[in-house]
Structure 1
Amino acid sequence: MPIHSSRSLRRTNPITLILLAILTFGFLYFIFSSPDGTTTTPVSGIKQAANALSPPSLPFKKVKKGQEGQQLAPPVVHYHMNNLTTSSNPIANQETVLILTPLARFYQEYWDNLLKLTYPHELISLGFILPKGKEGNAATAALQEQVQKTQKGPLKKRFASITILRQDTESPLSSQDEHERHKLENQKIRRAAMSKARNSLLFTTMGPTTSWVLWLDSDITETPPSLVQDLASHNKPIIVPNCYQRYFNKDNNKWETRPYDYNSWQDSPTAQQLAKDKLGPDDILMEGYAELPTYRSLMAYMVDDPQSNPDVGKEVLLDGVGGTALMVKAEVHRDGAMFPPFAFYHLIETEGFAKMAKRLDWQSYGLPNYFVYHYNE
């Protein structure tokens, strides 16, 4: 008995089937590709942005006037944020790191140390913000010179992207010298300006592919080359190393170290009572000044005896953190934790950030035996 095809199939014109196949292919291509022809960008992918409206953490080159062709339409890109990881093994998971630096004065030692970081540079984006004014201009010129040299150099040394922002305001201080920066009377206005700079830099540069944010001050000139993966290995939402300073002791005729950053601390009943009873709503408490005895436990003095083979991975809980080298999971910032430029529970800038993060249920940690070093002026 002969086998006959169904009536509907026999009546279908072959041309109709071909057209249906073409339309199906076109529909699938439209769904799974962006308007500029590129496919959906994976969270772990780093490549040049196709349009100026793409995430700021991806590099983008403007089309110069006179060039042929038209500006591409803004792409529609899907980011599956559930696939974005922040883990104790960031290299294996290809986690992107955004290193952010407010920069008022350029130190060559800072840049040289940055280049020595062993975290894959193709997974690192850099962001800088510099103030308006003469010193800011000089710092910008020096920074741009090193950026161009690095980004045209060996591929292994190049960073995924570099963003340089210029503020429309000058630094509130007349000088960036260390003595001037740390005068008590300059602290509130200085740290409020720093908070605004940090927030502007953060909100402009953090993109949907960012897993970690490392805040690294421009005068941090020496860190372990494995700084990024060392801090990430603890897998904490906020973690900060101990910041010390190398100096030449003329009395002993040798190089020694001393504490530098006093903003990483555990709170005390004295400080809490002082804030409650004697401070106005806009007053702030700061560490390292005899005029403001808080009796907080400072991480700078939690260092174990060097002769006892101290554990560099030792962790302590903190209520306040410094920003000289501060590692933050990007999701903490995405939750809304920023740097208050105003008195927030009598705290400001990085210490205020730790308090704000704690209010959002993110705990801060410190590494008292793990050191980074500040430039010695």
Structure 2
Amino acid sequence: MQPKRTVRGAKRTKLIVAALLIAFLYLLLRLKPAKTHSVAPKKFTVTKDGYTEEAIKEDEDTEQILDSGYGRNVEFYDLDNYLGKGALNVDKSKDVVLFLMPLRNAEHVLPMAFHNMMNLTYDHSLIDIAFLVSDCSPGDTTLDTVLEYSVALQNGTLADDLLEQERIKKKANVQGSSDLYQLYMDPDYIANVQRAYNSPESYHKDYRKPFRSVTIFTKDFGQIIGQGFSDRHAVKVQGIRRKLMGRARNWLTSSALQPYHSWVYWRDVDIETCPGLVIQDLMKHDYDVTVPNIWRPLPTYLGGEQPYDLNSWMESDPALALAKTLEEDDVIVEGYAEYPTYRVHLAYIREADGNPDDIVDLDGIGGVSILAKARIIRQGVNFPAFSLWNHAETEAFGKMARAMGFRVGGLPHYTIWHIFEPSEDDLKHIAKLERKKRRQLKA
């Protein structure tokens, strides 16, 4: 005889059955195929100046996807629209330029470098700036300074900040012994430099205009060679130094280059005076790589001026013969007695009153100021961080570009002025002159 179920037990059974039924219905709904969505196709209209796009919306579900942002993470670039058309019509060029500047222990020249950047007359809204700070010495403030200046640059306040810094410096009469060389420079040159950096009335109208973007990268490469003039220019360190510099340039370029960049402009930080039109002036030539001539001022007792960059040259038979006698890893260094190349150097064919638009074909190039079409980078031209045909970095860049069929040119009469960096011997000689001057005053 079965036990009689109580009322409470019957209610408990009904509740369990109801719960199981609800759970079954929930699972059934969860397993029902969800409605699929498709991202709206984009219609592209390609023109000679680029392309425009128009989204074709299909239904309300697609609109919701687009509104959420998930439908916008597909980008399209026709790279034929970014080949560097500025050479055809510089004045109307809307090409975006990538401006690259490697930095190491550069805090003392950053005010000068940022002044020169603001002085560029190419539309600032079409220039992306990227810095690479690497291998700085302990206690160096290059990274902090470039970050501070970049923020002020984009806020439009940097020009006034730098002028105020200069006023404070002059008021405090701060002058180090390393600045004494200025007393022995051509007065006209010094006056020109002062006007360039301390005369707001001479700035162009968009001097304070922010740039399209500024990006700062950091990456060390194990560079231990000093930044002093004697350290950097000793022949025994040139091969090692240039290979490391090649690595740095390649890291900066590959990190910053975007599909919409048509040109890449490399600029060293220690340029003293440079025309604001330099990008347009280099861009207007029908070359894939173009460099200006680089000279530097000297104290009057040394002649007043001197070619600085000998890395821009035309190849010679003696240099090719020399390369055959070297080890594969050796790097030929121009301007040193150990490497008699007898090449024609861009620096030595300069005429002070020559036509700045004259251009000659080159094989090797220097790295102080380089404008190149971005397409050659995309096709594989780079700064070899190894010995390529017994060259490295910028000189190997030029030879590689030539080997790949690109045109490499230099402007012999278009001059950019590098700062004068007094060597230890220069400083000793200037100190000697100062002591002589004091003795004469006392007499």
Instruction: Quote the Cα distance in structure 1 between the aligned partners of 2:318 and 2:217.
Output: 41
Instruction: Quote the Cα distance in structure 2 between the aligned partners of 1:259 and 1:132.
Output: 28
Runs of 4 or more above 4 Å deviation: 42-45, 70-74
Matching of residue 165 in structure 1 with residue 217 in structure 2: yes
In structure 1, the residue matched to 2:385 is 341
In structure 1, the residue matched to 2:174 is none
Task: Give the counterpart of 1:285 among 332, 336, 342.
Answer: 332
Residue 77 of structure 2 aligns with an amino acid whose one-letter code is: Y
Change (3 A) 1:43 1:134: farther
Change (3 A) 1:85 1:337: closer
Contact 2:103 2:132 in 1 (8 A): yes
Contact 1:130 1:136 in 2 (8 A): no
Task: Give the counterpart of 1:110 among 107, 110, 113.
Answer: 113
Contact 1:91 1:120 in 2 (8 A): no
Matching of residue 314 in structure 1 with residue 314 in structure 2: no
SS of corresponding position for 1:344:
coil
Task: Give the counterpart of 1:204 among 255, 272, 275.
Answer: 255
70-79 or 153-162, larger mean C-alpha shift: 70-79
SS of corresponding position for 1:350:
helix
SS of corresponding position for 1:365:
strand
Task: Give the counterpart of 2:82 among 80, 84, 93.
Answer: 84
Change (3 A) 1:44 1:376: farther
Q: CA RMSD in A?
A: 2.6
Task: Give the counterpart of 1:142 among 145, 148, 156.
Answer: 145
Could you tell me how far 1:90 is from its partner in structure 2? 3.7
Instruction: Quote the Cα distance in structure 2 between the aligned partners of 1:363 and 1:267.
Output: 14
In structure 2, the residue matched to 1:94 is 94
150-159 or 207-216, larger mean C-alpha shift: 150-159
Could you tell me how far 1:135 is from its partner in structure 2? 5.7
In structure 1, the residue matched to 2:127 is 124
Instruction: Quote the Cα distance in structure 2 between the aligned partners of 1:171 and 1:73.
Output: 45
Residue 243 of structure 2 aligns with an amino acid whose one-letter code is: A
Matching of residue 275 in structure 1 with residue 327 in structure 2: no
Residue 273 of structure 1 aligns with an amino acid whose one-letter code is: A
Could you tell me how far 1:72 is from its partner in structure 2? 6.8
Could you tell me how far 1:111 is from its partner in structure 2? 1.2
Per-residue displacement from partner, 1:322-376 (whole Å, max 9, x unpaired)?
0100110111111100000111011110010111111211121110000111111
Instruction: Quote the Cα distance in structure 2 between the aligned partners of 1:194 and 1:205.
Output: 17
- TM-score (normalised: structure 1): 0.77
Could you tell me how far 1:91 is from its partner in structure 2? 4.6
Instruction: Quote the Cα distance in structure 2 between the aligned partners of 1:132 and 1:43.
Output: 41
Instruction: Quote the Cα distance in structure 2 between the aligned partners of 1:298 and 1:126.
Output: 30
Instruction: Quote the Cα distance in structure 1 between the aligned partners of 2:83 and 2:220.
Output: 35
Residue 218 of structure 1 aligns with an amino acid whose one-letter code is: V
Instruction: Quote the Cα distance in structure 2 between the aligned partners of 1:203 and 1:352.
Output: 18
Matches within 5 A, 1:9-20: none
Task: Give the counterpart of 1:303 among 350, 361, 364.
Answer: 350
Matching of residue 331 in structure 1 with residue 375 in structure 2: yes
Matching of residue 364 in structure 1 with residue 408 in structure 2: yes
Per-residue displacement from partner, 1:121-173 (whole Å, max 9, x unpaired)?
00001111111343685111111111011111178521111111111334231
Residue 86 of structure 1 aligns with an amino acid whose one-letter code is: G
Instruction: Quote the Cα distance in structure 2 between the aligned partners of 1:373 and 1:135.
Output: 30
Change (3 A) 1:259 1:251: closer
Contact 2:313 2:346 in 1 (8 A): yes
Contact 1:131 1:166 in 2 (8 A): yes
Contact 2:83 2:374 in 1 (8 A): no
Instruction: Quote the Cα distance in structure 2 between the aligned partners of 1:117 and 1:287.
Output: 31
Which structure 1 residue ranges, 5 or more long, are not aligned?
1-25, 34-39, 46-69
| Greater percentage in helix | 2
SS of corresponding position for 2:151:
helix
Change (3 A) 1:137 1:161: farther
Which structure 2 residue ranges, 5 or more long, are not aligned?
1-36, 52-67, 158-205, 422-443
SS of corresponding position for 1:250:
helix
Matching of residue 31 in structure 1 with residue 31 in structure 2: no
Change (3 A) 1:72 1:189: farther
Task: Give the counterpart of 1:75 among 65, 68, 73.
Answer: 73
Residue 171 of structure 1 aligns with an amino acid whose one-letter code is: Q
Change (3 A) 1:44 1:194: farther
In structure 2, the residue matched to 1:353 is 397
Change (3 A) 1:268 1:152: same
Instruction: Quote the Cα distance in structure 2 between the aligned partners of 1:91 and 1:143.
Output: 31
Change (3 A) 1:221 1:74: farther
Could you tell me how far 1:119 is from its partner in structure 2? 0.4
Contact 2:136 2:142 in 1 (8 A): no
Contact 1:335 1:360 in 2 (8 A): no
Instruction: Quote the Cα distance in structure 2 between the aligned partners of 1:206 and 1:125.
Output: 9
Per-residue displacement from partner, 1:190-228 (whole Å, max 9, x unpaired)?
111100000000111111110111110111121101000
